[in-house]
Amino acid sequence: MKKIKVAIIGTGFMGRVHTEALRRLGNIDVVGVAGSSTERARKFADQVFIDRATGDYRELIADPQVDTVHICSPNSLHCEQTMAALMAGKHVLCEKPLASSVDEGRKMLALANEKGVAHCTLYNVRSYPQVQQMRQMRLAGEFGEIRFVQGTYLQDWLLYDTDWNWRIEDGKSRTFADIGTHWCDLAEHVTGLKMTALCADTEIFLSTRKKPTVPVETFKGKELRPAEYTEVPIANEDFVSMTFRMGKTARGSLTACQMAAGRKNRLFLEVYGTRCSAAWTAERPDELWIGHRDRPSEILIKDAVLFEEGARSFADLPGGHSEGYDDTFKQTFRRFYRRVADPGAPVEYPTFEDGIRQLQIVDAVVESSKKHSWLDIA
Ligand SMILES: NC(=O)c1ccc[n+]([C@@H]2O[C@H](COP(=O)([O-])OP(=O)(O)OC[C@H]3O[C@@H](n4cnc5c(N)ncnc54)[C@H](O)[C@@H]3O)[C@@H](O)[C@H]2O)c1
């Protein structure tokens, strides 16, 4: 079988997660990586055994042997790098949020369609087996009519004014664009409903933060010393809470924040229907709580043979053997590369359309909070 050749742009948290997940597929060769400098790219490449490393992503994109490009760089670079890869006729898998604006996202989608290549926005949370089980329960009508969804996305790695990351200076929305959009994509994917209007309240708890004078990668800020900072004003939000409508009857609410001490990655979603409910958190991915009114509620432990048929292929291991965050990338990539190999294969992964959808919700959150009012979502 011919192996598909992949280049990765970005050598941080996602660069590593993508590289490892791609290798687990078996039919992919990660042939090169681009970083913010040749030195940093080389260091990463040596750690994960990739031959080619460069500080200029254009070198990899110009290589005719590269079939697909993974964009794992800061959000404000996604559009420029994706457009360059698409112009060269590559398939593109771009990290979320897709771009810095809806207009950028639309440009990316238009070019991908013009070039006839496969495109994906990495809303990987969809690919947890229990998430697919919830979705299949909805498709089978088990919830009855969905009345409301609610949840949180909480982390704590930006709690202190000494916690720093490029996200703090990248874009009009930080917390919502970074993690709120994961939750909204999940809520829409599971329920099959679209958010039609929202009222959001955002807050910047820290008006200034101490920016390191040396480069720092995601989650690594704890290791710096006081002399390595300068004080800078903050313009994007630390916190968002929002209430929303999903069509005429369904309602929902979300709180997202990266300053919630002790919450490491509490992505939590509850779905309430006229017949039953379900609740799931990424912190305990193997467990799905199913709530009943007239019989005992239950916890379904991940076991593909007990799942609805459509959810089974998202679990590769036998029941009781955990599958988590890394596996969601493998599952998403598997479906994406099936489509790359066979343009007739179904699109069972989030696309640039889904990325644009979330950018529209970002706009509505920012606008609504500014105006202190409800807004319809485009
Ligand atoms: N799907 C998920 O669960 C998930 C999780 C975390 C991050 N992300 C997304 O992944 C992307 C990267 O985030 P991260 O957490 O890995 O950040 P990171 O800071 O760990 O890594 C970003 C990398 O991009 C590199 N970079 C900067 N400028 C570059 C350039 N011009 N060319 C090439 N590389 C450059 C940096 O050196 C760094 O290695 C973001 O869009 C983020 O939103 C997604």
pLDDT at 343: 94
Phi, psi dihedral angles at 64 (to 5 degrees): -65, -20
> Same structural domain for residues 147 and 271?
yes
The chain-wide mean pLDDT, for the chain, equals: 96
39 located within any domain: yes
> Same structural domain for residues 110 and 169?
no
* Ligand 1 centroid, distance to 310 Cα (angstroms): 32
Place of tokens 């958190």: 281
pLDDT tens per residue across span 226-261: 678 899 999 999 999 999 999 999 999 999 999 999
Asked whether the beta carbons of 182 and 216 are under 8 A apart, the reply is no
Nearest alpha carbon, ligand 1 atom 40: 74
> Same structural domain for residues 89 and 24?
yes
Asked whether the beta carbons of 6 and 28 are under 8 A apart, the reply is yes
> Same structural domain for residues 308 and 190?
yes
Among 311, 310, 270, 305, residue whose Cα is nearest residue 291: 270
pLDDT at 218: 65
Which of 33, 36, 82, 236, when mutated, tests ligand 1's pocket best, judged by the most ligand atoms within 8 Å of its CB?
36
CA distance 375 to 54: 44
CA distance 11 to 44: 6
> Same structural domain for residues 40 and 135?
no
Question: Which distant-in-sequence residues (6+ apart) come within 8 Å of 107 by Cβ?
Answer: 79, 83
> Same structural domain for residues 161 and 268?
yes
Handedness of CA 87, 88, 93, 99 (dihedral sign): negative
Q: What is the tally of structural domains in the chain?
A: 2
Phi, psi dihedral angles at 311 (to 5 degrees): -95, -15
pLDDT at 219: 64
pLDDT at 228: 80
- State how beta strands 197-203 and 277-281 pair: unpaired
* Ligand 1 centroid, distance to 98 Cα (angstroms): 12
> Same structural domain for residues 92 and 143?
no
226 located within any domain: yes
* Ligand 1 centroid, distance to 10 Cα (angstroms): 5
Pocket of ligand 1 from Cβ distances under 6 Å: 9-15, 34-36, 40, 57, 72-75, 77, 95-96, 122, 124, 166, 178, 217-218
Q: Token pair of 283, please?
A: 């912190």
Nearest alpha carbon, ligand 1 atom 28: 36
CA distance 9 to 82: 10
325 located within any domain: no
CATH number, residue 230: 3.30.360.10
pLDDT tens per residue across span 165-206: 999 999 999 999 999 999 999 999 999 999 999 999 999 999
pLDDT at 331: 98
Structural domain of residue 212, as residue ranges?
128-317+357-371
* Ligand 1 centroid, distance to 9 Cα (angstroms): 8
255, containing H or E segment: strand 250-257
* Ligand 1 centroid, distance to 73 Cα (angstroms): 4
Asked whether the beta carbons of 98 and 63 are under 8 A apart, the reply is no
In this prediction, the residues of the chain whose per-residue pLDDT falls under 50 are none
96 located within any domain: yes
